[in-house]
Amino acid sequence: MAGSLNKVLLIGRLGADPEIKEMVNGKSVARLSLATSQSWKDKNSGEKKEKTEWHRIVVFNEGLVNVVKQYLKKGAQIYVEGQISTRKWKDESTGQDKYSTEVVIQGYNSSLTMLGGGNNSPALNQDSSKSLENTSQASQNDLDDEIPF
């Protein structure tokens, strides 16, 4: 195959407070549980139906992990761009291979944007040092809250 694309775009709400863990190399990682929902009207009964999908989001960028830890809580609405990744691990209690599929926020093609805080919520890109600084200068006066970026 000449080319391929692994890109995931999601808008949803956090189902729990973020989980922050320290990796073996001393850096932090954030794990998020994101719910996306779709609703429709049943053709036969006219009843409103809803289906919720749960997504595991993993943030490796140290700057974004700090922002996630400080500002994101259960119920927060976010937009994420990342790559889907499946990793294999061994269940220590049974010895069986297990698999986890996650959306990984890492590298230059990933971002995390907090929604619901107004129209000028800053985008938190992987190139965070530059994008956070530029966003801060452009929209600092437009934000009602005191998020420092």
User: Domain-by-domain residue ranges, the chain?
Assistant: 8-142
Contact 90, 98 (CB under 8 A): yes
Length of the chain: 149
* Tens digit of each residue's pLDDT, the chain (149 residues): 579 999 999 999 999 999 999 999 999 999 999 999 999 999 999 999 999 999 999 999 888 999 999 999 999 999 999 999 999 989 999 999 999 999 999 988 899 999 975 444 455 554 443 333 333 223 333 334 444 43
Q: How far apart are CA 145 and CA 133, in angstroms?
A: 17
The conformation of residue 48, written as its DSSP 8-state character, comes to: E
Say if pTM beats, i.e. exceeds, 0.75: no
Backbone angles phi, psi at 86, to 5 degrees: -115, 125
Q: How far apart are CA 83 and CA 12, in angstroms?
A: 16
CATH number at 8-142: 2.40.50.140
